[in-house]
């Protein structure tokens, strides 16, 4: 018999207890009805109304298989019952996909794919990464984060806003698959915003030292959030252009 890799039970995804409670109420169901549906339709004899209530109160979170069953009973997608996915595994669970499905789609063996999930580090090729983004319906920020490029992006953005942003366009383009014009506009706006944070603002009493300290704090906060601000700027640019 061919060797089958050991598939460890995945940890609970970021369960949205409020969403589960809201969806159940919208269907006019009681916890007893949800528990019965999971027992009868999904072969989970241990699910009780008390367990359903514990999920909805946030005391415990359902496992991946329990979440899929709960979504089936509540007539919703698994992604409707989770918070914003952060890891490769959480994105997969949110889409209701088995690890075998994702591994096959991207052209990886199951063992190799599971090792990436467990380590939380995606190391596929560019082609595999593109397929992963399609299969998991990843947004561009999620794609950059899951493929391990966010730290590099943050480093480049900090350099761009503190020096000459024009010298960073090509490097950012290698990390983020965006049109060069989009990157140029975003970097120019980020640079202007950051430099504006460094200008001391008038404060009560007119103490220049206090104003300089305040501007320095604002600059450090900007650098700490530079990736988030970059995505906000890109999104705003798309909205303004109607892309």
pLDDT attached to residue 177: 86
Structure tokens at 2: 């061919």
Q: Which long-range contacts (CB under 8 A, 24 or more apart) does 138-142 make?
A: 138/91, 140/176, 140/177, 140/178, 140/231, 140/234, 141/227, 141/231, 142/85, 142/91
pLDDT attached to residue 212: 47
- CA-based nearest residue to 73, from 83, 62, 60, 84: 62
Residue 34 has pLDDT above 70, yes or no: yes
How would residue 116 be classed by pLDDT, with cut points 50, 70 and 90? very high
CA separation for the pair 95, 101 (Å, rounded): 11
Structural contact between residues 89 and 70, judged by C-beta atoms closer than 8 angstroms: no
pLDDT attached to residue 13: 56
Per-residue burial over 90-115, b = 16 or more CB atoms within 10 Å of its CB, e = otherwise:
bbbbbbebebeebbebbebebeebbe
Structural contact between residues 9 and 63, judged by C-beta atoms closer than 8 angstroms: yes
pLDDT attached to residue 10: 47
185-240, pLDDT tens digit by residue?
A: 999 999 999 988 876 555 555 545 544 455 667 788 899 999 999 999 999 888 77
pLDDT attached to residue 208: 52
Share of the chain above pLDDT 90, in %: 55
Question: Which element (helix H / strand E) includes 139?
Answer: none
Average pLDDT of the chain is: 85
54-89, pLDDT tens digit by residue?
A: 999 988 889 888 999 999 999 998 888 887 788 888
How would residue 172 be classed by pLDDT, with cut points 50, 70 and 90? very high
pLDDT attached to residue 134: 93
């Amino acid at each position: 018999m061919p060797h089958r890799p050991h598939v460890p039970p995945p940890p609970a995804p970021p369960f949205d207890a409020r969403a589960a409670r809201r969806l159940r109420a919208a269907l006019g169901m009681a916890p007893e009805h949800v528990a019965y549906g999971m027992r009868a339709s999904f072969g989970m004899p241990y699910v009780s109304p008390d367990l359903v209530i514990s999920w909805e109160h946030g005391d415990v979170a359902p496992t991946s298989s329990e979440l899929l069953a709960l979504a089936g009973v509540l007539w919703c997608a698994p992604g409707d019952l989770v918070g914003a996915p952060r890891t490769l595994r959480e994105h997969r669970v949110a889409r209701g996909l088995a690890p075998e499905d994702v591994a096959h789609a991207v052209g990886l063996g199951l063992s190799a794919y599971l090792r990436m999930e467990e380590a939380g580090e995606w190391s596929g090729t560019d082609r595999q990464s593109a397929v992963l983004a399609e299969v998991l319906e990843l947004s561009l920020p999620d794609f950059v984060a899951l493929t391990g490029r966010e730290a590099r992006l943050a480093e480049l953005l900090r350099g761009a806003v503190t020096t000459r942003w024009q010298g960073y366009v090509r490097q950012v383009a290698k990390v983020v698959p965006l049109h060069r014009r989009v990157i140029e506009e975003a970097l120019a706006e980020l640079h202007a915003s950051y430099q504006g944070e460094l200008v001391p603002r008038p404060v009560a009493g007119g103490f220049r030292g206090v104003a300089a300290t305040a501007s320095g704090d604002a600059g450090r906060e900007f650098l700490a959030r530079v990736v988030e601000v970059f995505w906000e700027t890109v999104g705003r640019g798309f909205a303004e252009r109607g892309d």
